[in-house]
């Protein structure tokens, strides 16, 4: 049966609560609002040496204990706990815990707000530290992948041919339509813009060279790599991340298998084969798209278009573009698999890591392509 809480003076003949209090009834969450109002009216009236009796205290929970701390103070309550013999050990422990927690909270000073420039440089430093950690993790994973690749190349019994073919179909064959369509349209746009600009100089015939140079050296491999980063790297991360969330990778390790050989290497080998082939298709599609625009807008026949390509474009431009494809393929596959292994177990983590793999792959591809372009330009290649 619930008993109403009360705070009364020790002396029945006096209504002054400053000399002493008698606390009783149920100090629980049910009576919290009532007790809070009484304590608010008594604030500042109770003397430090006033006597307090807790013999009539009924039910008690953390809400009531917090109100007692608010009324008496954590130090005064600690003294009463040690002096009172009517309190059970459970109530002593509850009052001590709540009093200590509120006392620590009251003693802690709010931190002074840092200047804006300090927070800005702190965020920059934290971002640089995280970037360094990601770079070290990527380099370490690249080392593990290369070590595993060289370890199984001369051991055909450890090749995962079925998995390789399945990933080759998903990463390569299924991506042919989107790669061909995109590069065809981009080739047409490049030819149209080139013809528009070169028309002012009476050099529209060089639109053929513009399309060929751009797609053989840059656009073919770059557009394909960006598509693979958004399409394939995200798929690798989601697949491995879902396995990590479902503890399937732990099961693989329990069976004595190496997740790197089972999950990573087939995907890396598949992309190493698929990306150069897709790059070749992208080059052809881009050149064909430019040829269509030249035939329709510039009156350059397909025969003349092919003759100019054969006469003006050297084989080295094709080799330069195709030579970047294996490097981009390896990095895209490694980044996608690494981000999958970083998944912590929730659906949100899978989404975050998938986004991170796409962003990192595109960033790395563009940076490496820019560095390669500068290097090849300086070398005269």
Domain ranges of the chain: 6-107, 152-379
Global pTM exceeds 0.95: no
Residue 151, pLDDT score: 85
What is the SS3 assignment for 349-380? HHHHHHHHHHHHHHHHHHHHHHHHHHHHHHHC
How large a percentage of the chain has pLDDT more than 90?
A: 19
- Each residue's pLDDT tens digit, 257-289: 888 888 889 999 999 999 999 999 999 999 999
- Each residue's pLDDT tens digit, 287-346: 999 989 888 888 888 888 888 888 888 888 889 889 899 999 999 999 999 988 888 877
How large a percentage of the chain has pLDDT more than 70?
A: 91
């Amino acid at each position: 049966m619930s008993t109403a809480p009360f705070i009364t003076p020790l002396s029945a003949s006096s209504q002054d609560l400053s000399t002493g209090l008698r606390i009783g009834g149920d100090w629980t969450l049910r009576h919290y609002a009532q007790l809070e109002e009484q304590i608010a009216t008594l604030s500042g009236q109770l003397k430090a040496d006033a006597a307090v009796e807790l013999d009539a205290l009924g039910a008690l929970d953390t809400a009531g204990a917090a109100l007692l701390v608010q009324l008496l103070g954590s130090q005064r309550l600690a003294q009463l706990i040690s002096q009172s013999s009517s309190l059970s050990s459970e109530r002593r422990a509850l009052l001590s815990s709540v009093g200590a927690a509120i006392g620590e909270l009251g003693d802690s000073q709010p931190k002074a707000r840092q200047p804006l420039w300090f927070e800005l440089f702190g965020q920059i430093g934290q971002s640089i530290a995280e970037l360094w950690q990601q770079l070290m993790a990527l380099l370490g994973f690249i080392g593990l992948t290369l070590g595993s690749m060289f370890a199984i190349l001369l051991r055909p019994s450890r090749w995962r041919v079925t998995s390789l073919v399945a990933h080759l179909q998903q990463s390569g064959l299924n991506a042919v339509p989107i790669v061909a369509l995109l590069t065809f349209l981009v080739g047409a746009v490049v030819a149209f813009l080139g013809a528009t600009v070169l028309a002012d100089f009476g050099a529209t015939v060089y639109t053929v060279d513009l399309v060929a140079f751009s797609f053989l050296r840059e656009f073919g491999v770059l557009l394909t790599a960006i598509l693979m980063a958004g399409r394939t790297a995200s798929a690798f991360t989601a697949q491995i991340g879902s396995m990590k969330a479902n503890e399937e990778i732990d099961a693989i390790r329990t069976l004595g298998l190496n997740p790197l050989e089972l999950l990573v290497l087939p995907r890396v080998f598949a992309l190493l084969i698929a990306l150069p082939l897709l790059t070749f298709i992208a080059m052809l599609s881009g050149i064909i798209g430019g040829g269509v625009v030249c035939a329709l807008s510039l009156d350059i026949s397909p025969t003349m278009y092919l003759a100019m390509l054969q006469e003006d474009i050297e084989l080295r431009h094709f080799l330069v573009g195709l030579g970047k494809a294996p490097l981009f393929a390896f990095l895209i596959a490694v980044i996608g698999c690494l981000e999958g292994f970083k998944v912590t177990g929730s659906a949100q983590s899978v989404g975050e890591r998938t986004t991170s793999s796409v962003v990192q792959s595109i960033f790395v591809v563009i940076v490496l392509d820019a560095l390669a372009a500068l290097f090849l330009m300086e070398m005269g290649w």
